[in-house]
Each structure stands twice: as C-alpha cells, then as structure tokens.
Amino acid sequence: MASIPEDATSPSPVATPPAPTVRRVVYRHTLPLRIMHWINAICLLILLGSGLQIFNAHPALYWGHASHFDHPWLSLGATRTGDGRLRGVAQLGSHRFDTTGWFGVSKMHGQPTVRGFPAWATIPGPQWLAMGRAWHFFFAWIFVLNGVCFFTYALWTRHLTRDLVPTRHDWRGIGRSIIEHALLRHPKGEAALRYNVLQRLAYLAVIFLFGGGVVLMGLAMSPRMDSVLGWLVDAVGGRQSARSIHFLFAMGFIAFFLIHIFEVVVTGVGNNLRSIITGRYAIESEARDETHQ
C-alpha cells in the first residue's frame, strides 16, 4: 500500500460551497501487489474447489496418525429413509445434522447424489479425484511461488513492516477499533488510507498462519515428504491430524473471504475494486485539510 498522493488536488466535480470537501485520488496499490492479489485470488478459488473435490473421495476427518474409521470428528455421509429417499447427514463430534441438499447428499443433474460437498462447490463438478488432484497440485505451486514473491516484495518495499505490522499506537486503539468494526463505522478520508489494526492483524493471520499453515499441512500429507518432515507430522499429532488442520485452514480462508468481501462492499465496492485493479483509490477530505499538505 503505497499512499503516495498522485495528483494532489483534483477537485470533485460536485465540490460546491455547502460541502467543502475535496475528492483526491491516490495511488494506493502498486502494480506488483495488484497482480499478486489477483493471482492469489484465482489460486485460492481453484485450490478450494479442487480441495473439496479431493475431500469428497473420503468425506471424513480424523485426529491422529491413522484413520479410526468408526470415529471421525467430521463426516459428510448419507442414509436412506424408510421410503427409500436419500438424506445427507453431517456428523460433527457426537452431533448429527440433516444437511440434505448441501452436505452428504446433493443434486447432480437433478438427481439426489451421495457426495460430501455439492457439485457447484467442487472442481471439476462431477466426482473426479484424479482431475481434482491435477488442478490442486498445479495451483498449489503457483500459490506457493506467488506467496514467496509477495513475501520478498513486501519485505523489500517495507509494505510488510510499514503497512501490515501494527504499530504501538495501533495496539492501543484495538478496543476502539473492535467497537467501530462492530458498528460498521469505517475510517474516512485520510484515515482510510492506512490499514486499521484489525485489518492488519487479519491480513497477517491470513498470510502467515493460514497461508503458511495450509502449505505446511499439505506437505505433511505427502508420504514422500513425511520421510523428512516427520517432526512436523508428529507435532500436529499425525498425518490424519494434518489433513484435518489443512481442511480447517481452508475453512478459515472461506471465513476470511466472506469478511473481506463484506468489508469491501460496505466501504465502497467501486472505489475498492478500482484500487485493486487500477491502483487508484479516491478519498474525500475536508478542504481545509488540504492546506496542511
């Protein structure tokens, strides 16, 4: 996030006496960051869809080194009712939920079909493990290489230390920031140019905890890599635990994605989208602020 004012004063066409505000367009996101953002978005979309396809090959998760088939902590299965109809059953711990239409049983070509996640959520749509793996491992490489590029770039340009790591002042304002987020009150004007503390923490967690974690847990599932990553596999409790955690990080990405989209929409979808595509972000600031520049 390079908050370098471009054409410092480009008065808004509607800037007439009653509201003495000035619309200023700043160059917010540099080209490399914009490119990496979209590569990352495409990778995550495909990794998620193909990952759910792979999950569907055995829609159950366990803790430990091996699968205790009678005791998954999560499973998306199916049962048949007395009148022969298929019902989807999600089991989480000792709880069972009817999830027909969503998990366990969902429609494919109009027919109720036994499958963990529905066809619209998987890549490819039909049950096709070999192809799901092909998509997953190809885009996993791009995701990792893109991540390495981002990290190098963010360190080099100090994007990481300047824009992402919270300052001491940020930490002190965390309580207020939480309240403001809850009330959907977002910083305006100049203040909107810098990431707020919750935003910084969310980005750091997603990049390093979710991003790093999901890759490491993926590697921990590889039988070949386990010959040198035994310590990592043991640290999380075994290969099946690694598979579970890999899945949970993926769910974490979905949660982040939903919040991310929500925040983009409530803080101005057009402005935000333009800034992540063209780099240009508009802020309204009071005209008198301009004199301090």
Partner 1 sequence: MKLINKRRRFLRDALALTGAVALGGCDKLSETQWAPKVLGSATGLSHATQRVLSRDAMAREYSEADISPVFRPNGSTHPQSAEYRALAADGFRDYRLGVGGLVAHPLSLSLDNLRALPNRTQITRHDCVEGWSVIGKWTGVQLSRVLKMAQPTKLARYVVFRCYDQMDDDSEYYESLGFDDAYHPQTLLAWALNGSTLPIPNGAPLRLRVPRQLGYKMAKYLRRIDLVDSFKHIEGGRGGYWEDQGYQWYAGI
User: Could you say whether residue 240 binds partner 1 (CB under 8 A)?
Assistant: yes
Q: SS3 string of 99-126? A: CCCCCEEEEECCEEEEECCCHHHCCCCC
Q: Which is nearer to partner 1, 93 or 270 (CB)?
A: 270
Least distance in Å: CB of 181 to partner 1? 25
**Which range touches partner 1 (CB under 8 A), out of 91-99, 101-109, 135-143, 175-183?**
135-143
Whether 147 contacts 139, CB under 8 Å: no
Please enumerate in sequence order all residues whose Cβ is within 8 A of that of 166, keeping only pairs 6 or more positions apart, or say none: 197, 200, 201
Among 28, 33, 47, 49, binds partner 1 (CB under 8 A): 49
With contacts defined by CB under 8 A, how many residues of the chain interact with partner 1?
49
User: Could you say whether residue 54 binds partner 1 (CB under 8 A)?
Assistant: yes
Q: How far apart are CA 293 and CA 290, in angstroms?
A: 5
Q: Which of 272, 252, 254 is nearest to 263 (CA)?
A: 272
Among 8, 10, 20, 141, binds partner 1 (CB under 8 A): 141
At which residue do the structure tokens 């066809």 appear? Answer: 119
Strands 4-5, 21-27: pairing kind: antiparallel
**Which range touches partner 1 (CB under 8 A), out of 80-88, 95-103, 121-129, 285-293?**
121-129
Measured at the CA of 202, the angle between CA 200 and CA 207, to 5 degrees, comes to: 95
* Residues in touch with partner 1 (CB under 8 A): 13, 42, 45-46, 49, 54-55, 57-58, 60, 62, 65-67, 69, 120, 123-126, 128-131, 133-135, 137-138, 140-141, 221-228, 230, 233, 239-240, 243, 269-270, 273-274, 277
